[in-house]
Structure 1
Amino acid sequence: MPPRSGPAVIAAALALLAGCAYTGGDIGNPFYRKVQWFSFVEAGDIAAACVPGSPERFRLVYNALWDQQVRIYEWDSAARTLKASVRRSGNVARITLDDPLSPWRTDEADIPLDQAAYDGLAAALGEAGAFGPPAVGLELPSHSYYWTAASCRQGKYVFTAWAYPSDAYQAARFPAALAALDPARDGIIQPGPVPVDPFRNYDRQRGATGEFTLKVGPNGLY
């Protein structure tokens, strides 16, 4: 997979992660997520299976400041079930003896999609440009708000994104359409100004935050 940009201190780590293709493992597991996240976001697995006549598949990711909340929405034309997952900041109070990784796992819900809901999501994505030319060059810092969308529709794979704040982000209807279907909608962190944190800025200058930046390419991520 192509290289991604990020702080110099984690350049070697990013190079390692770039070689770890997502093949359908449990992305809710923090170990899988750590090494396969970039591939999961750009949906290399969807791209590889996207041929004329294949089922439609969609994977959307909402980044609401990486260390606070990430939400994932996946669905396809075969199962007609919306899988909604959310990863929050790790709360060690949730650790259990049975599952010591529980604070860092995702919470998941499966929501049946009727025809109207399915068509509504596709229409909202289409209006937002999800099936057209990708936003090549758009940078997506982890400590920011953005949506990404990977899809296989009519045998064509497309990956694109919307960064906040922007006119394209504000005009997109699909976030509201997904929220209306999400049983955990009350917990969605809404986009807004990123708080100024002098300690984080100092750590960022030293390359000690572990932050990273994704960049939209012509066929996935750079």
Structure 2
Amino acid sequence: MPRRLALPVISASLALLAGCAYSGDDIGNPIYRKAQWYSFVEGSDIAGACAAGAPERFRLVYNGLWDQQVRVYEWDSPAKTLKITTIRSGNVATMDLWDPLSPWRADSATVSLDQVAYAGLADALDRSGAFGPPAVGLQLPSHSYYWTAASCRQGKYSFTAWAYPSSAYDAARFPAALAALDPGREAIVTPGPVPVDPFREYDLKRGAVAEFTLKVGPSGLASW
């Protein structure tokens, strides 16, 4: 059986490659993901456009162990459409010779939001502390479970995160609200003890995969 290949998004030079500002490109493309991931996660584009009277925008990222599954949820007030992007580890057996990056391209789906669903998501985020003071200093290792949320609401940019396991993570209301709207909810990797994978440990030691840690700052990520 062919072994899975880790996502070609993180390498030893991640600190440089992921330092590019997100420019609105398709984050499902592994090339853009590699270059713009940090900026995308913290929503630097959202922050740059957020001002009084600006449309509401939301971007939530669920890290279910980086090299297993990452899910991105985005929506805004003008379109009221929930976009779901699912990033999984690639399998070389699925490679298309005409598109060598195909195993690492993300899947996407869209769901229309009526006013009740839209308001429900905003309320769930509010109850979870998404629009309050950020969890400054919270560290988010790639080989762990966590959520991040970047938003522009009522003209104010906010960014924070929830790491598993923690009381804040357990109290968060929005994961269930998003899962209820996600047509691929059965495939969501649920948080739990991080499994021991000897193959991954071997790859980690020889530099075939790498780990990285994000850190919540007072306004976005602490550094990237």
Q: TM-score, normalised by structure 1?
A: 0.90
Whether the 8 Å contact between 2:19 and 2:38 is mirrored in structure 1 is no
Structure 1: gaps of 5 or more residues: 1-8
Within a 5 Å distance, the mapping from 1:41-52 to structure 2 comes to 41-52=41-52
Deviations 1:41-86 (A, max 9, x none): 0010000000000000000000000000000000000000000010
Q: State the match for 1:112 in structure 2.
A: 112
The 1:102/1:204 distance shift into structure 2, 3 A limit, reads: closer
Q: Relative to structure 1, is the Cα distance of residues 203 and 110 closer, same or farther in structure 2, using a 3 angstrom cutoff? A: closer
Deviation at 1:102, TM superposition (A): 1.5
What is the CA distance between 1:195 and its match in structure 2?
A: 1.4
What is the DSSP-based 3-state SS (H/G/I as helix, E as strand, rest coil) of the residue aligned with 1:83? Answer: strand
Q: Does 1:40 align with 2:40?
A: yes
Count residues with an aligned counterpart. 212
Query: Is 2:18–2:34's contact at 8 Å kept on the other side of the alignment?
Result: no
Counterpart of 1:137 in structure 2 is 137
Aligned partner of 1:85 in structure 2 is 85
Partner of 2:123: 123
After superposition, what is the alpha-carbon deviation per residue over 1:21-59, rounded to whole angstroms, capped at 9, x for unaligned? 001001100010011000000010000000000000000
Aligned pairs for 1:114-193 within 5 A: 114-193=114-193
Alpha-carbon RMSD across the aligned residues, in angstroms, is 1.7
Q: In structure 1, how many angstroms separate the alpha carbons of the residues matched to 2:38 and 2:176? A: 25
Residue 215 of structure 2 corresponds to 215
Match in the other structure for 2:95: 95
Letter in 2 for 1:21: A
User: TM-score scaled to structure 2, two decimals?
Assistant: 0.89
Counterpart residue type for residue 48 of structure 1: G
Amino acid at match of 2:35: V
Shift of 1:95: 2.0
Q: Report how far residue 17 of structure 1 moved.
A: 2.7
- 8 Å CA contact 1:17, 1:38 repeated in 2: no
Q: Is the 8 A contact 1:64 1:145 kept in 2?
A: yes
